[in-house]
Amino acid sequence: MKLKIVLPALALTTAVLCYYFRPVGSLPEAAVLSEPPPLSFAPHTAENAFSFDLLRQVAKADTGNLCLSPWSAQMALSLNGCGARGDTALSFQKVLHLGATPEACLDFVSQGRAWEEQMIACAGAQGREKQQLQSELAELESQLSRLKRRISDTYDDQRVRADRINLIRSQLQRFDFAAAEALFLQKGLKLESPVEDAFKSRRIELQRVDFKGDPEGSRQHLNDWGAKATRGLIPAVLPPGSVRPITRMALAQAVYFKGAWTRPFSLHATETQPFFASGGDSFCHLMQQTGSYKYAWISRSGQALPPPAPAPYDPDPKSKIYPEHGFHLVEMPYKGERLSLVLVTSIDAVDHSALEPFLTADNFAAWLAASRDTLLDLRVPRYRIAGASRDLSPALRSLGLDAAFTDKADFSGFTRDEFLCLDQVWQQTLIEVDEKGAVAAAVTMSNMKCSEAKSFDKQPEFRADRPFWYFLRDRQSGVILFCGRVSRPE
Query: 249-284 pLDDT, tens per residue?
Result: 999 999 999 999 989 999 999 999 998 887 777 889
- What does the pLDDT read at residue 156? 63
Q: Which CATH number does the domain 267-383+457-486 belong to among 3.90.79.10, 3.30.360.10, 2.30.39.10, 3.40.720.10?
A: 2.30.39.10
Range with the poorest average pLDDT among 112-116, 123-127, 373-377, 405-409: 123-127
Burial class (CB within 10 angstroms; exposed 0-12, middle 13-18, buried 19+) of 411: buried
- How would you classify the pairing of strands 339-346 and 327-333? antiparallel
Query: Residue 91: what residue type?
Result: S
pTM recorded for the entire structure: 0.80
Residues in CB range of 276: below 8 A, 6 or more apart: 349, 465, 466
DSSP track, 51-86? HHHHHHHHHHH--S-EEE-HHHHHHHHHHHHHT--H
Neighbours of 266 (CB within 10 A): 10
- What does the pLDDT read at residue 233? 96
Residue 154 pLDDT more than 90? no
pLDDT tens by residue, 187-228? 999 999 999 999 999 999 999 999 999 999 999 999 999 999
Task: Map residue 328 onto helix, strand or coil.
Answer: strand
Element (H, E) at 372: strand 372-381
Residue 42 pLDDT more than 60? no
Tell me how far apart the alpha carbons of residues 325 and 298 are, in angstroms, rounded to a whole number: 7
CA nearest neighbour of 442 among 226, 184, 183: 226
- What does the pLDDT read at residue 15? 47
CA nearest neighbour of 466 among 307, 339, 346, 374: 346
112 within 8 A of 78, measured Cβ to Cβ: yes
% residues pLDDT > 70 (the chain): 74
- What does the pLDDT read at residue 487? 87
3-state helix, strand, coil in the chain (%, to 5): 35, 30, 35
Quick one: pLDDT band at residue 344, thresholds 50, 70, 90? Answer: very high
Tell me how far apart the alpha carbons of residues 224 and 230 are, in angstroms, rounded to a whole number: 10
65 within 8 A of 479, measured Cβ to Cβ: no
Task: Map residue 254 onto helix, strand or coil.
Answer: strand
- What does the pLDDT read at residue 402? 95
Strand partners, 334: 261
- What does the pLDDT read at residue 394? 96
Tell me how far apart the alpha carbons of residues 479 and 304 are, in angstroms, rounded to a whole number: 20
pLDDT tens by residue, 408-464? 999 999 999 999 999 999 999 999 999 999 999 999 999 999 976 444 345 677 888
- What does the pLDDT read at residue 454? 41
% residues pLDDT > 90 (the chain): 54
- Cα–Cα distances in Å, from 320 out to 179, 231, 277, 288, 313? 45, 46, 22, 20, 10
CA nearest neighbour of 436 among 287, 268, 261, 284: 261
- What does the pLDDT read at residue 193? 93
Residue 185 pLDDT more than 80? yes
- What does the pLDDT read at residue 388? 83
For the chain, the structural domain boundaries read: 69-123+176-257+385-450, 267-383+457-486
Domain range 69-123+176-257+385-450, CATH architecture:
2-Layer Sandwich (3.30)
- What does the pLDDT read at residue 244? 94
Question: Mean pLDDT of all residues in the chain?
Answer: 82
pLDDT tens by residue, 44-68? 444 689 999 999 999 988 888 999 9
H runs (alpha helix) in 123-214? 127-148, 155-172, 193-201
pLDDT tens by residue, 219-258? 999 999 999 999 999 999 999 999 999 999 999 999 999 9
- What does the pLDDT read at residue 132? 64
- What does the pLDDT read at residue 335? 87
- What does the pLDDT read at residue 48? 87
- What does the pLDDT read at residue 21? 43
- What does the pLDDT read at residue 123? 75
